[in-house]
Amino acid sequence: MTYLGTQPNDVKKNTGLYTPSEILQLTKDGSWGGSLELIEEQTASSSSALDFTNLGNYDVHYMTLDNFQCTTSTTRYVAARVSNDGGSSYESGSNYQRAWFRINTSGTNAEIRSTSETSMSNFFSIDSDNRTSQAYIYFYNLQNSSKYSFATFQSFNSVGDYTYFGGMVYAVAETINALRIFPDGDGLATGNAKLYGVKQ
Amino acid sequence: MSNLRLINETTITSGVSTVDITDVFSADFDIYKIVANGISTVGTTQTDPDLRFINSSGSVISSSDYQYAHLIMRTDASFTEQRSTGDTELYRFFGESVDQEPEDGSQVSYIFNPFSSSSYSFAMYQSMVASAGLKIGMKGIGVLKQTASMTGFQVRDNNTTRPFAGGSVKTYGLRVDS
């Protein structure tokens, strides 16, 4: 939706609150709508992975990962892979890179970096105790065949109580049309993932 | 209805070293979100894309009133801190050195109180770029230590002679309940 405030392109001055009649009129005018558009929500239940095979048509995507737990007590890393064939397969070559910082609630902070990863690894760890891990992630250029795919993220890792922030790259310029969120072993006992398009 | 309201979307045209995005900050919102995507350069000579604020008179603020602190995170080498208490822009606000496609840069940031005439303008930003074969993430904070009302901002090629080839910059307002 275009902005409706007081600036030159505004349709109607507002502070972000609208009356029902204004909403009806703006809908009629085609000026009503959100700027984050939910594409798909998936909930894990003893799942090996969460696959998003519909990315809509956006240059920037936003994803939230919430309430993630593992099916076993073994600590597992939750990562992402991209697909260029609509989800028939997911890229697992060493074309991913990462650079993120880990802040520990007690202990030493750490730089995590690599120029040769087989996934965007990782957003957080999980296990099966009563604490869950969560993250938000921005993906850039996924659907642009001439650009690399980037991600920036921040997360809370409940296995050890860390926060992570940083970035990942899939350093191949090609069209990505599916995303997979997965643990590096066992399965996802719980987890809710929402994929949004950032409206253009 | 989203609580995130798109105010402006600007596509960077090829060959420019500055892009002015004006009349986006107003009394209607206190907090703004910027999503910049695919900022690239003409040719393979890299540049740092910075931010300068624009005041209500349309003047680009270039005085030494900017402060910033950020962590540069490379995939191939140790991370480095970078900071300044008297810069003429928010240095590397949109990323640490962008390059020719497919090596470009993307970021998300938040601007706080830019329109207020009684508060400094604060920022938080996070980016990821590919440049000269390197992959570099960054997260930081910045402030313009002026209380004048700002109504826009400029995306700026730090070198001034290494123009941008493309990219998009979207500015959103975060809903205010009153």
Q: What is the dihedral of CA A100, A77, A115, B109, to 10 degrees?
A: -30
- pLDDT score at A19: 75
B22 within some domain? yes
B41 within some domain? yes
Residue B28 and residue A166: Cβ atoms within 8 Å?
no
- Confidence class of residue A17 from pLDDT cuts 50, 70 and 90? low
Residue B21 lies in domain: 4-173
- The answer to whether residues A97 and A44 belong to one domain is yes
- The answer to whether residues A85 and A162 belong to one domain is yes
- pLDDT score at B113: 96
- The answer to whether residues A48 and A5 belong to one domain is no
Burial category of B16 from C-beta neighbours within 10 Å (exposed 0-12, middle 13-18, buried 19 and up) = middle
First to last CA, chain B: 17
B128 within some domain? yes
* pTM of the model as a whole: 0.90
- pLDDT score at B178: 56
- Chain A environment of B77 (Cβ under 8 Å): 113
- The answer to whether residues A19 and A92 belong to one domain is no
pLDDT, one tens digit for every residue, chain B (178 residues): 567 888 999 999 999 999 999 999 999 899 999 999 999 999 999 999 999 999 999 999 999 999 999 999 999 999 999 999 999 999 999 999 999 999 999 999 999 999 999 999 999 999 999 999 999 999 999 999 999 999 999 999 999 999 999 999 999 999 776 5
CA distances from B20 to A9, A140, A176, B89, B91 (A): 16, 23, 32, 14, 16
- The answer to whether residues A47 and A23 belong to one domain is no
Please count the structural domains in chain B.
1
- pLDDT score at A8: 45
Q: What is the dihedral of CA B84, B85, B88, B91, to 10 degrees?
A: 30
- pLDDT score at A106: 87
Please count the structural domains in chain A.
2
Give the residue from chain A lying closest to B2, CA to CA: A34
B158: amino acid identity, one letter: N
Does residue A5 register a pLDDT over 80?
A: no
B141 with B70: CB under 8 angstroms?
Answer: yes
B178 within some domain? no
CATH of residue B33's domain is 2.60.120
A182 with A191: CB under 8 angstroms?
Answer: no
- The answer to whether residues A68 and A8 belong to one domain is no
Give the residue from chain A lying closest to B35, CA to CA: A60
- The answer to whether residues A51 and A110 belong to one domain is yes
- The answer to whether residues A85 and A63 belong to one domain is yes
Residue A188 lies in domain: 34-198
List, for residues A89-114, the tens digit of each pLDDT value.
999 999 999 999 999 988 899 999 99
- The answer to whether residues A20 and A50 belong to one domain is no
The dihedrals phi and psi of B134, each to the nearest 5 degrees, come to: -100, 155
Is A108 in CB contact (< 8 Å) with chain B? no
